[in-house]
Structure 1
Amino acid sequence: MKIYGITGWKNAGKTGLMERLVAEITARGFTVSTIKHAHHSVDVDQPGKDSYRHRQAGAQQVVLASANRWALMTELRGADEPPLADLLAQLAPVDLVLIEGYKRDTHPKVEAFRAVTENPLIATNDPTIRAVATDSPLDIDRPLLDLNDTAAIADFILTEVGLA
């Protein structure tokens, strides 16, 4: 599986870009999975539901399955957050895994950047960022991509991973 990241600070446009890239790349016939890193506690389950009750009772893992989808929930119960490589190993094979966040990991990335947020540019000190997708002119030694030109960003990523 090929992997590529979209990174950036809060409100830089990462999630919107991820959504557009998944749609664009799957429309080209490739299979895509995603991993999203969250800095806050997340729960895809709801109190009172059977699967939630299983976890609350102490289950390490719970699979919730239906005719439409299935989800595997794993409780860390105080263990360290798993590294990205461990999460990637859990995925079924696809052509490309797009990763949102994980800005400190070493996989190649495009940084989403909006000057209006007034956050610093990560690419300045991070060689794993191969290009910057932005809505502003920047002076940097990496390719600049139009944050709103999804097709061009998809072309860049697919070329980088050898799927173009």
Structure 2
Amino acid sequence: MKLWGVTGWKNAGKTGLMERLVTEFTERGLAVSTVKHAHHHFDVDQEGRDSYRHRSAGAQEVLLSSRNRWALMAELRGAGEVPLDELLGKLSPVDLVLVEGFKRDRHPKIEAFRASAGHEVMAPDDATIRAVAADVTIATGGCPLLPLDDTTAIADFIAAELGL
């Protein structure tokens, strides 16, 4: 599986870029999966639901299944956060895994940058960032600069980098 990350500060456009890249690459015929790093207090379950009750009772893992989808929830119960490499091992094989967040991990990334977010560009200080997709012209520390809204150009760059 090929791996590529989308990183950036809050409100920089990461999720929108991820969504557009998934669409672009699947339209190109690739099988794509995603991994999203979330804040530590997220929950995909709802209080009162059977699965929530199973977890609350102490289940280590709860698997939900229907004719449309299945989901596996695992409780860490105080253990450390699972490393990205271990999480990737839980995915079924695909052509491309796009990763949102995990900015400290060493996989190749593109930085989403939106001037209105009010942050500095990360690329000059991070060798894993191979390009910056921005809504303004900025100094990138030598990385290619791509228009944030040009999904085709961004996907072409990633495909070339990964040999897809």
TM-score for both structures, normalised by structure 1: 0.97
Residues 49-88 of structure 1: CA deviation (Å, up to 9, x unaligned): 1111111111100100000000000000000000100100
2:15 matched residue in structure 1: 15
Shift of residue 39, structure 1, vs aligned partner? 2.2
Amino acid at match of 1:156: F
Structure 1 gaps of 5+ residues are none
Paired position in structure 2 for 1:153: 154
CA distance in 1, matches of 2:139, 2:7: 19
Tell me the number of residue pairs that the alignment of Structure 1 and Structure 2 aligns: 163
Match of 1:127 in 2: 127
Residue 20 of structure 1 deviates from its aligned partner by 0.5
SS in 2 for 1:142: coil
In 2, distance between residues paired with 1:63 and 1:145?
Answer: 41
CA separation in 2, counterparts of 1:39 and 1:49?
A: 22
Within 5 Å, which residues of 2 pair with 1:78-97?
78-97=78-97
- Which runs of at least 4 in structure 1 moved beyond 6 Å after TM superposition? none
Residue 130 of structure 1 aligns with an amino acid whose one-letter code is R
1:143 aligns with 144
The letter of the residue matching 1:85 is D
**Hey, what does 1:27 align to over in structure 2?**
27
When the two chains are superposed, the root-mean-square deviation of aligned CA atoms in Å is 0.7
- Residue identity (%): 67
3-state DSSP class of the match of 1:15?
helix
TM-score (norm 2): 0.97
